[in-house]
Structure 1
Amino acid sequence: MGFSGSGRGWGEPFLKLMEGRFRIFVIDNRGTGESDKPDAEFTLGDLAADIAAVLDHAKTPRAHIFGISMGGMIAQEFALAYPERTRGLVLGCTNCGASHSIPADPAAIANLIPAPGMDPIEQARRAFSVACGKAFLNSARGQAILDQAIAEMGNYPVTPMHTFMRQGQAIGGFDSFARLGQIKSPTLIIHGDDDSIVPYPNAEVLQGAIAGSKKHTLKSAGHMFFWEVPEETARVAGDFLAAVK
């Protein structure tokens, strides 16, 4: 999952579709969900090592890796550190670090950071207002999905404020561009073309730097494409991964 999100952030519709085709492990990144929440510095490489530890515990020596946003950065670090453990790689709505990325509007990013004293429900709506594509936000279906997600927020541990800071520091210290040529796993880059958080041209940078990678564009979808178009996302990613030897 991406910045500040727990494994619940994938959304049940998408997970159910993937679970129909694969044995899946959904990870709460360090600092989120039911994982430990240390207020100590860590890197995205450390979070990739956390994934390796989860797979060790699950007695799974090799796996497909699917990461979105910050999770896509962690997935790059995993593929680079553990090439023999990476089968297929799916990089969703992500980038390769500051040096070669196309930045978002700072005002959009600011909406993802909790404001002191703001009601959590108001904060969630503020974040979704930039994380989702306009077509989804302006649809009755989209609003119903967001209403349900917000209603369920209290059922799971809240991400503490220090996690936002620590994960933000880890993202700030990430830069994979010079190493992308070392990724040998079959790679799919999937990105919505209405993404306000990680602008779509970042997908083209990744595809240009990872030899043999494929790219799929989700039309009119935003950063939360796996909520907005779960069927297309699961079909495209699932077909790609199923074809990996």
Structure 2
Amino acid sequence: MGEHVGAGDLDIWTEQVGQGPDVLLIGGLGDTVESWQFQLDGLSDRYRLIAFDNRGAGRTAMPDGPVSVEMMADDAAALLRAVDVSSAHVAGFSGGSIIAQELALRHPELVRSLVLQSTWPVMDPYLRSWARFIRWLVAVAPSERAFLEGFYLDIYTARAHNDGSVDQTIQEVLAFPHKQAVEDVQRFLDAFIDHDTTDRLPRIAAPTLVLAGGRDTTARPPLCRAVAERIPDALFEVMEEEAHQPFQEVPDEWNARVDAFWRDTGTRG
């Protein structure tokens, strides 16, 4: 069971499972602890996994005032310190991968390694237009289901839509009692649309694995590659048949690859 953890000026909803080296999991737009369920279930025999709801998502409140990626990276740092973790393997997807980049830049002592899934250094015009589309879609969609059905077209593969996995996810989201307010979705998106780590990525010293989905139409492989090329000695791999969130669609494959990276990092460390 999760609990609220006091970290900085927030009470952050946090779930901790397992035993072993510490891992921090950072979600993307509106995603909560539950988005990492396949990792919480599949890796807890080897790692102590810490997942949390970002500010304004799920059970973590959105304070008044501006929202920035830097602020959310500081939230993650405050959470690690609050649960007495001096250094963790950090994995983030989509917006969570950008938070993870900032965490490694602002608090390098806390980051043992980085896994960046579906990431970018700065949104290109295509991705920026898509983010702005989602920003207004969430406000004008005729229902929550209609929004999710449209949004998920760019998040999951056709395979997941056709085999019923996406419909099951939609049912779970619709039943989730801790809804994210429309304005909080928009504030989260606003924080990322013009955020840029391009010139600072070479300062990241943590061992890094960048993963891209070959069928991802948002954080496309060239954007992910641009991150890997700027982080010294980063590994870059494309999961050719996957989209934006392979850690959910093919969790066994994703978990095995990330576990191998963490084990190698631990050996070298």
Fold shared, TM-score > 0.5 on shorter chain = yes
Cross-structure match for 1:163: 184
Change (3 A) 1:114 1:39: farther
Secondary structure in structure 2 of the residue aligned to 1:2:
coil
- CA offset at residue 166 of structure 1? 1.2
Secondary structure in structure 1 of the residue aligned to 2:237:
strand
Does 1:133 pair with 2:157?
yes
- CA offset at residue 3 of structure 1? 1.7
Cross-structure match for 2:196: 175
CA contact (8 A) 1:102 1:198 kept: no
Q: For this pair of structures, how many residues does the alignment match? A: 238
Counterpart of 2:142 in structure 1: which amino acid? M
- CA offset at residue 236 of structure 1? 0.7
Does 1:43 pair with 2:43?
no
Counterpart of 1:151 in structure 2: which amino acid? Q
User: How much identity, in percent, do the aligned residues show?
Assistant: 26
For structure 1, the 5+ residue unaligned runs are: none
Q: Please give the residue correspondences for 1:214-229 in structure 2 after superposition, counting only pairs within 5 Å.
A: 214-229=235-250
- CA offset at residue 115 of structure 1? 3.7
- CA offset at residue 149 of structure 1? 2.0
Cross-structure match for 1:97: 122
Secondary structure in structure 2 of the residue aligned to 1:106:
helix
Q: Considering Cα pairs closer than 8 Å and 6+ residues apart, tell me whether 1 or 2 has the greater RCO.
A: 1
CA contact (8 A) 1:181 1:209 kept: yes
Does 1:186 pair with 2:211?
no
- CA offset at residue 105 of structure 1? 8.2
Supply the RMSD in Å over aligned alpha carbons: 1.9
CA distance in 2, matches of 1:41, 1:108: 19
CA distance in 2, matches of 1:26, 1:134: 28
Change (3 A) 1:107 1:95: closer
CA contact (8 A) 1:193 1:200 kept: yes
- CA offset at residue 109 of structure 1? 6.2
CA distance in 1, matches of 2:131, 2:53: 24
CA distance in 2, matches of 1:35, 1:15: 19
TM-score between the two structures when normalised by the length of structure 2: 0.82
Secondary structure in structure 2 of the residue aligned to 1:104:
helix
Cross-structure match for 1:152: 172
Cross-structure match for 1:243: 264
Cross-structure match for 2:31: 5
Secondary structure in structure 2 of the residue aligned to 1:178:
coil
- Structure with the higher fraction of residues in strand conformation: 2
Secondary structure in structure 2 of the residue aligned to 1:189:
strand
Change (3 A) 1:107 1:161: same
Cross-structure match for 1:106: 129
For structure 2, the 5+ residue unaligned runs are: 1-26
- CA offset at residue 219 of structure 1? 1.8
Does 1:208 pair with 2:232?
no
- CA offset at residue 176 of structure 1? 0.4
Selected match of 2:45 from 5, 13, 20: 20
CA contact (8 A) 1:121 1:150 kept: yes
User: What do residues 83-110 of structure 1 show as CA deviations (whole Å, max 9, x unaligned)?
Assistant: 1111010010010113xx4733835862
